[in-house]
Structure 1
Amino acid sequence: MSVDSNGLIDPEEDDIDVFDNATYIGMKVSFPDGSTWKLQSKLRHISHEVCQAECEGSGARSEARAVFLCCKVSGTGPPAAMIKIRLQIPWYKTAGELPDARAKQAISETPSVFDSEIEALATLTSRGCSSIPSLLSWKKERQSINEGVPGGYKLSILMQRVPGIDLDPGHPVYLVQMSREERELLRKAFKAAWLETVRCGIVNVTHVDESIGNILWDKEDQKCHLIDWECWRLSDGRTTWEDRLWDRWNVLQMRGSWSHFEVSQWRL
């Protein structure tokens, strides 16, 4: 989302690219641990514009998120990493308003899902989990007058860069284009990753994070990494693997029936 010298966003841009390459690629981001990183490429992004009535009535948030690959400029840490950025964005159809008007939309509190993800990643990292990107650092900021919602939240997580391809449906190497043999390898690796996180005490839950779009698949090493941890619960002795998780995480080629439980209808 580019803002001109007067702090204005083009009001005709209905589908705003919040994380446009011109603004973000090459940007340097510093963290409290003293390290500085340069954004190199955008791995994924999503925007969710919500109207004023919905935000004020139900507590919904107009928000955008993106994950960038980055390289270290200075400080401690590995040579390369990933940065996830979460931004409050203007309400639907208000991006063209003046900065002072957009500033009135600013939310003072940090979304609970951000703190939840930090807690999950910190716990899994401290327990040596190899199936997640380890947490390196994080920070909370407020947007400047030159950004989408002046005073709105701007949250960043610095994580280990892990190998693999994005399996989101928009990616050219999506599940349906894989051979049956590779899909079997993927499911085997995913199950191993899921079980490792459970052994480390955390279960990734709900449809928000249970999705193939939250898996990175490393075909060469036959390894999956689970990369989103906004929604989770503590595991206990009763937490076990169930085959319906294939369906809930969308790692089936297709489900022939609406029911999650009719395994005979699944196309593997």
Structure 2
Amino acid sequence: MKVKVQWVGQLPAKGQTPQPGPSTTTKAELKALEIFRDAKASFAPQLVAFCCMVQDDRGPFPNGFLSFTVMTKLPGQSLFGKYWNMSQKERDDITPKAVQALRSIYALGIEPVDRGLRNVIWHPETKQCSIIDFEIWSPINGTFANETSELRRWGLLRAPAAKDHWTAWNMMYR
């Protein structure tokens, strides 16, 4: 479950209420979670329930929003801080499963933008790889063309040393 407390930014005039609704990142994640739910996807979380309400005067941010997103919990743990300490064999088991999960997500028209090992979940017992965190994504028609580049963007494959900061940035984000 994700709980967000959202401040309006400017208190409305007396007697007015803010437009109720989730933030843009919450809206994006809701859309992705609905797509995964409708596709019965096993490689990404699915939306279970959502609620958004305006806080009253007793809340931490009066007139701000409270949003509750309930999604399925995927088995396994994040690879952040673990992946590069694993044996080469373990990493070799993970890589094709990560590619499979990513291709499945792309096939549903979603290109994750927040790439990183923190958003890759690995369940060693079932050998399943999943992707989480879809607050930022882009609609896409197709899939990634270069598997090596995509794995590098996610931190699943080491990139050769870049000659300077800008080259490194472009390799990661472009």
Please give the range of the TM-score, normalised by the shorter of the 2 chains. 0.7 to 0.9
On the 8 A contact 1:121/1:134 being kept in 2, the answer is: yes
Equivalent pairs counted in the alignment come to 161
CA distance in 2, matches of 1:160, 1:167: 19
TM-score normalised by L of structure 2: 0.77
Indicate how the Cα distance of structure 1 residues 214 and 238 shifts in structure 2: closer, same or farther if over 3 A, else same.
closer
Any idea what SS the aligned residue of 1:136 has? strand
* Contact 1:90–1:148 under 8 Å retained in 2: no
Q: Which has the higher contact order (CA 8 A, sep 6+)?
A: 2
Q: Give the match for residue 160 of structure 1.
A: 72
Say whether residues 1:122 and 2:34 are aligned partners.
yes
Higher strand residue share: 1
Q: Are 2:109 and 1:195 aligned? A: no
Does residue 135 of structure 1 match 2:47? yes
Q: Following the alignment from structure 2 to structure 1, what is the Cα–Cα distance between the partners of residues 24 and 30?
A: 10
Contact 1:129 1:200 in 2 (8 A): no
* Superposition deviation, residue 138 in structure 1: 0.8
Quick one: which amino acid aligns to residue 176 of structure 1? W
| 1:1-268 to 2 correspondences below 5 Å | 83-88=1-6, 104=11, 110-169=22-81, 174-205=82-113, 209-237=114-142, 239-252=144-157, 254-258=158-162, 259=167
* Residue type of the alignment partner of 1:179: S
Deviation at 1:86, TM superposition (A): 2.0
Q: Unaligned regions of 5+ residues in structure 1, if any?
A: 1-82, 92-102, 263-268
Look up the SS of the partner of 2:91 in the other structure: helix
Q: Do the aligned partners of residues 239 and 121 (structure 1) sit closer, same or farther apart at CA in structure 2, a change above 3 Å counting?
A: same
Range with bigger deviation, 182-191 or 228-237: 228-237
Q: Any idea what SS the aligned residue of 1:243 has?
A: helix
Kindly report the root-mean-square deviation, in angstroms, between the aligned alpha carbons of the 2 structures: 2.9
Say if 1:229 and 1:238 are closer, same or farther in 2 by CA, change over 3 A.
Answer: closer
In 1: Cα distance, 2:143 partner to 2:98 partner: 20
Report deviation, 1:146. 4.3
Cα shift readout 1:3-32 (whole Å, capped 9, x = no counterpart): xxxxxxxxxxxxxxxxxxxxxxxxxxxxxx
Question: In 2, are the aligned partners of 1:166 and 1:215 still within 8 Å (CA)?
Answer: yes
- Alpha-carbon shift at residue 235 of structure 1 (Å): 2.8
Structure 1 pair 136/90, CA: closer, same or farther in 2 (3 Å)?
A: closer
Q: CA deviation at 1:85?
A: 1.7
Whole-angstrom CA distance in 1 between matches of 2:136 and 2:33: 11
- Quote the residue 1:18 is aligned against: none
What's the % identity of the aligned pairs? Answer: 23
In the superposition, the TM-score normalised over structure 1's length comes to 0.52
